[in-house]
Amino acid sequence: MPELPEVETVCRVMRRALVGERIARVEVVRDPLVFSSHTPRAVERALAGRVVDAVGRRGKYFWIALRGPGPTVFGHLGMSGWVREVGREGTRLRGHGDAAFDDDAGRPRFMRLRLETAGGRAIAFTDPRRLGRIWLGLSPERERRIARLGPDAYDDLPPVDALVALFARRRTAVKAVLLDQGALAGIGNWIADEVLYQARIAPARPASSLAKAEVSTLRRAIHRVLAHAVRVRADHRRFPKSWLFEHRWGGDRGAARIGGQAIVRQVVGGRTTAWVPARQR
């Protein structure tokens, strides 16, 4: 599932292709799941002819802010959504496999939305599983799905003392707190497992049991993992081989060991969790 680094990657793609440009052509594929209550015509009217002022993100949500009166376009990638610039290969996620991005006619496969600027650049939102969402709203400040999010884990990672206070109030598993988007926005399942592995903290430990030094170590791991994943444009092939990431996938369950230590898989915080008991306490 796309998480913060993947969403930041597609936001940068959109910023590069769209910001400062007028949208000359909008193509919307009718899909009552992806577009919820909005008709293709409503989405076209919201976008066509308007200049893109900014592309914003908080956690796993993104938005396209447009100049002048009219709605803001919001989005969430869901489980398999993606955005790329048409005509460029871009980042390929694990779930993309080796299949061509475009069909035999040169159109993006599984396309739901395509925006083309007056300058000729275009982006496409694709989603084979149709679990992503695109909708219209007033502004990020007035959009309830944005307002209920906690601080962004990449752009606004709280200082150590604030995280200590957050964890001290929570007796649930530390992984569950990391996954709580109202506490810290953008961390999903693989990132939570990765930062806990790097911080040597067991995922089922009560968050309130963490000492300040452990919270500090965890914060550094969050910063380090997100910074690297964003820097390499969420390309997993460029993640360090020492990370848990590549070992937690593959086959029926993934690798049995990492660095000679057994990987255990169990449900923590409602999600399948990979961790290493010999390392994480």
The amino acid at 281: R
CA–CA distance, 181 with 172 (Å, rounded to integer): 15
Secondary structure (DSSP) of 165-209: HHHHT--SBHHHHHH-TTTSBT--HHHHHHHHHHHT--TTSBGGG
The amino acid at 93: L
CA–CA distance, 278 with 281 (Å, rounded to integer): 8
**Given phi > 0 = left and psi -120 to 50 = alpha, else beta, which region is 133?**
beta
CA angle 188, 145, 151 (to 5 degrees): 55
Residue 130, CB half-sphere, CA atoms under 13 Å: how many? 8
Q: Angle at which helices 212-231 and 189-199 pack, to 10 degrees?
A: 130
Catalytic positions, written as ranges: 2-3, 60
Q: By the 8 A CB rule, do 146 and 140 touch? A: yes
